[in-house]
Amino acid sequence: MGTLRDMQKSEEERSGQPADRAEREAERAGYQALADFERWAALGATAPAFADRLAAAGSAAAAHRRLVDSPAPTGPDPRLDEAEHRVRPGDWWEELAKAFHWQRLTAQAYSVEFDPEPQRWAGERLAEAAGERTVADRLALVERRLAGEALVLRYALGTLSAS
């Protein structure tokens, strides 16, 4: 019977996961950048105005630069995917709110830095939407759901303790 460390190493070898914790965290950061890229790119495809398409493309490009600079992920992170899929936006404004807030929240969960510049445009657009009461109320609900999912994700990643 092996030690706990031997059993953990053996499990990591079977699952194909890297044995080094720092390497795993770096790969997760790469996957987080990939998810950001995909989210921003999808947002541009449904943008209501050309300026929004262009700005979303810039945000996707910034996420792509982070992806290129990160260790390539060896596979998906099901915890991030599951958390992301539980919040399904109903329209472009909700998708924008999700892209804006989820990027920041997941960066905190994965303890990674991100370029805040692309978010400036999204923050300005969301501030404009706040003037329309029904849109603002829907966006507030999306923000609360994202915050809850981010707490669950941080707990699953071990970056938030149960105490």
> What CA–CA distance (Å, rounded) separates 110 from 125?
26
> Tokens representing 7?
């059993």
Residue 7's pLDDT is 38
C-alpha to C-alpha distance for 78 and 18, rounded to whole angstroms: 16
Cα 157 from Cα 73, distance rounded (Å):
16
Where do runs of H (alpha helix) occur along the chain? 4-15, 21-45, 50-69, 78-85, 92-109, 117-129, 133-157
Sequence-separated (6 or more) residues with CB below 8 Å from residue 47: 53, 56, 92
pLDDT at residue 162 in the model: 57
Quote the pTM value.
0.78
Condensed to tens digits (0 to 9), the pLDDT of residues 90-129 reads: 899 999 999 999 999 888 888 888 778 778 899 999 999 8
pLDDT at position 112: 84
Quote the pLDDT of residue 16. Answer: 53
Output the CA–CA distances (angstroms, integers) from residue 44 to 40, 116, 129, in the order listed: 6, 18, 17
Low-confidence ranges of the chain (pLDDT < 50): 1-12, 14-15, 18
Q: What is the pLDDT of residue 10?
A: 40
What pLDDT is stored for residue 127 in this prediction?
93
